Amino acid sequence: MPVYTDNNGPLGGTSGSKAFLQVSQRAINQNMKTAYAESWNLTIDRQLTPNSVVSVGYAGSHGIHLYDIAQINDPGNGAAYLGDANGSNRLNLQYTGMNYRSDNGYSHYNGLNVGFKANNLLSKGIGLNANYTWSHALDNLSSTFSDSNSSQFTGFSGAYSLGYLDPFNPKLNYGNADYDIRHRFVLNGTWEIPWMKSATSALARYVLGGWGLGATFNLRSGAPFSIYDCTNFNSQDCPLYAPTGADLPAHSGSGVLVGPNTFNYINLPGLAGNIGNSLGIPACTGLYHTGTCTYTVNGGVYPERNQFFGPGYWNLSTNFFKNFRLTERFQLQFRAEMYNIFNHSNLYVNTTNIDASSLSGTFIQAEKGGPDGFAGQPQDERRNIQLGLRVSF
């Protein structure tokens, strides 16, 4: 880098001219509205026994004027919107990216919950809580910065797509939300073992009485994700992948083991065409926002955002405890807690493997994940055990 002695730097001198470098912009909608959500719910409880209740509930919500970011000056936008003969030109050639922040996001959620609660079940000190939820979440943008698991890409700073597919048509992005978990079941229970709790022998009470145990079981369906085609990557965004002539399954199971904790998950069908890697998979032609990146199922055209779902998830954690009565006011509890007691690793879609143009094979893959839900992390899911003492008074 040259060092200038003139205070005017590279613009110093008496003759000639020098063009300013292109710069990016960040603009905010001066009439931005405050984001808010409307929510409603209805729950009906029914007592089954003196110590148990079953409930059925519905919950819904609608997010309005959610904050967003739109890239309105991407390469190629000039050709798409202005008919520019140069297919790589931007809308405004004076600038590079234009990061426009506004309030065009919106969301919808509907959920059905069925629950069961019981205390001192069968008069044996058993507490039980079970909940099943079916829900569907839709939106046109799940995160202002598109920083969810389904959009994370290790190839460059940012994501496959920041903001909307079409910055001037946010509704085109409407589809399954990144957090759309259709099925979720949670079961937790505790059991304070009644035997020897009130034994006449002090030794029996202290050694054999006051024991209890608990467990929490979580089970849910997989999170949605999109498949991209970066053949025509424009330095900021990648088009959504759209099969032509055949539809891909939303779920394919874990498939075949192809490496350490790595499975073939969704097979991209081999069709006529080429996406740049000789796999025979057709490219999503045209710009990503022109509407060509959709496919038809049963006569209806569907957006491709988050049309695929990753593997399901389950986890079991347990604990046991021992209560010691010290005085009338003080009680000591010893606890042993075991998280993920079966040392089970769930599978997550490898989000560096969802670009169809860079695949080494025809499969989207799933891998053993980490605590943040990303596949192949150094800190994988594993059993954790902790011991503790608690004084109650």
Show pLDDT as tens, one digit a residue, over the chain (393 residues). Answer: 677 777 777 666 666 666 667 788 888 999 999 999 999 999 999 999 888 999 999 999 999 999 998 888 887 778 778 888 887 788 888 888 888 999 999 999 999 999 999 988 777 788 999 999 999 999 988 888 766 544 333 333 334 667 887 788 888 788 889 889 999 999 999 998 877 666 667 666 677 777 889 999 999 988 888 887 776 665 556 767 765 545 555 555 556 777 777 888 877 754 333 333 333 333 343 333 333 344 443 343 444 678 788 888 899 999 998 888 788 888 888 899 999 999 888 888 877 778 777 777 777 888 887 655 566 665 667 889 999 998 888
Burial of 68 (0-12, 13-18, 19+ CB in 10 A): buried
Burial of 84 (0-12, 13-18, 19+ CB in 10 A): middle
Residue with tokens 């807690």: 337
Task: Pick the closest to residue 22 from 77, 98, 80, 128 (CA basis).
Answer: 98
Torsion of CA 163, 166, 167, 168, to 10 degrees: -150
pTM, entire model:
0.77
Q: Which two tokens stand for residue 56?
A: 């059925």
Q: What beta strand segments (E) does 226-344 contain?
A: 257-259, 262-267, 294-297, 300-303, 308-309, 313-325, 331-339
How many residues can be counted in the chain?
A: 393
Q: Which two tokens stand for residue 190?
A: 């505790």
Look at residue 274 in the predicted model and tell me its pLDDT.
Answer: 36
Look at residue 260 in the predicted model and tell me its pLDDT.
Answer: 74
Look at residue 128 in the predicted model and tell me its pLDDT.
Answer: 92
Decide: 274 and 283 in contact? Cβ < 8 Å: yes
Decide: 170 and 161 in contact? Cβ < 8 Å: no
Residue type, position 211, single letter? W
CB neighbour burial string for 163-199, b if at least 16 within 10 angstroms, e if fewer: bbbbbeebebbbbbbbbbbbebeebebbbbbeeebee
Residues 6+ apart with CB under 8 A from 9: none
Residues 6+ apart with CB under 8 A from 260: none
**Which DSSP symbol is given to 33?**
P
Burial of 144 (0-12, 13-18, 19+ CB in 10 A): middle
Task: Pick the closest to residue 67 from 114, 25, 34 (CA basis).
Answer: 34
Q: Does residue 35 sit in helix, strand or coil? A: coil
Look at residue 184 in the predicted model and tell me its pLDDT.
Answer: 95
